[in-house]
Structure formats: structure tokens, C-alpha cells
Amino acid sequence: MDEKRPNRRQRRLPRKIDAGYLENAALYYLQRYATSSQNLKNVLTRKIRRSCAHHGDDPDQFLPLVDKIALRYQEVGLLDDKVYAEGRVAALRRQGLSKQAIQQKLSLKGLAAAEITQALARIDAAANEDDHELAAARRLARRKKIGPWRSRPLSDDKAAHKELAVLARAGFSYDTAKRALQTSQESIDTEYLDF
């Protein structure tokens, strides 16, 4: 009974890297997450570096395997950056993210700026909205329960500035944020019936 239990879960020691392990790790990752080819390379590279640091191996002998795996998965269709970009852009637009925030998030996943811009153009063209940024700002305002979706009226100018700041931090321009927060109740009732 006097045994001391560690408060934190102990981190598992990394397995020794080989080609089979990397292949299985890549497939397991792809089963769980949609990803870009560059992000998969980053994940596998981190695994290699962690394992080699622990076991004292040279990571340079395993790093070429990462490129081979990613290339093979692209050829067979398991990795498709165009499809991934379009799916993420559509999901992020539904969440109410601005164009700027979407570009930043997807560039962190290793997608090229041109690919992100093309995906944004395709998704925005497919949506039946006049102003995509305004529609996204309204979605975010609805999610955050600000603007016309707030439960209580504004108490002062400071509260109004805080609501504008929420949309500004999300990457929306001042004009777009102001228009989203000034949406009338009638347009909300007709515009958001499909939610």
C-alpha cells in the first residue's frame, strides 16, 4: 500500500524505427486523420527524430523513407492535397473562419498558398452566398453568441468593442465585422432557417 503512484501518465518509450514501422505508423495516422502530404511527412519525421534520439541512431538513414512513403501514397490516392484543401476549407468556412485564418491554418499543414487560394475560390463559388466573408463572420458571431445572437442587450460601448475584437481576432476586416454584428433580426430569421 505504500507504493507511490505517479501522478502523470508515463510517456511510452519510442520504438526502434524500421521501414515496416514507418509504413504502419503512416497508415494508422491516415486512418485517423485527413492530412496533407507535407503534414504526414512532418509527423513521420518527428517520430524518426524522437526514436533516433532515444536509441542513438542516425535519423538521416530513415528520412528518405518518409519521402518514398508520401510519394507512394500520393500515387495510389491515399494522399491528395487538393481534396484535403477543399475539405478543410469547407469545414472551416462552416465554422465561421475568415479567408485569412483559413490560409494561415492550412499553410501550417504544409499546403502551398496557391493551392489554398484555389480551394477557397472553388468552395466559395459553390456556396450560394453573395459575400462569403460576411457569411462566415455571421456564422462566427452566431457561434460566439454576439451581435444579434446575444442573449442580453449591450451594456456599454466597451462591450460593443469586445464583440468587434472577437471578429477582428478571427481575421475579419472592421467593415465586415461591423456589418455582421449589425445584422437585423428579420434577415437572421430568413437567412438561417436551414441550420
Helix (H) or strand (E) holding 112: none
| 146 lies in the same domain as 166 | yes
pLDDT range class, residue 108, cuts 50, 70, 90: very high
Residue 4 lies in a domain: no
Range of the domain at 158: 132-191
Residue 35 lies in a domain: yes
Specify the number of domains making up the chain: 3
| 68 lies in the same domain as 90 | no
Torsion of CA 165, 169, 171, 175, to 10 degrees: 10
Kindly write down the DSSP assignment for every residue of 21-90, as one continuous string: HHHHHHHHHHHH----HHHHHHHHHHHHHHHHHHHT--GGGTHHHHHHHHHHHHHHTS--HHHHHHHHHH
Q: What is the pLDDT of residue 194?
A: 47
pTM score, whole prediction: 0.78
Count CB-CB contacts under 10 A for residue 125.
9
pLDDT one-digit tens code per residue, 154-166: 878 888 899 999 9
Q: What is the pLDDT of residue 184?
A: 57
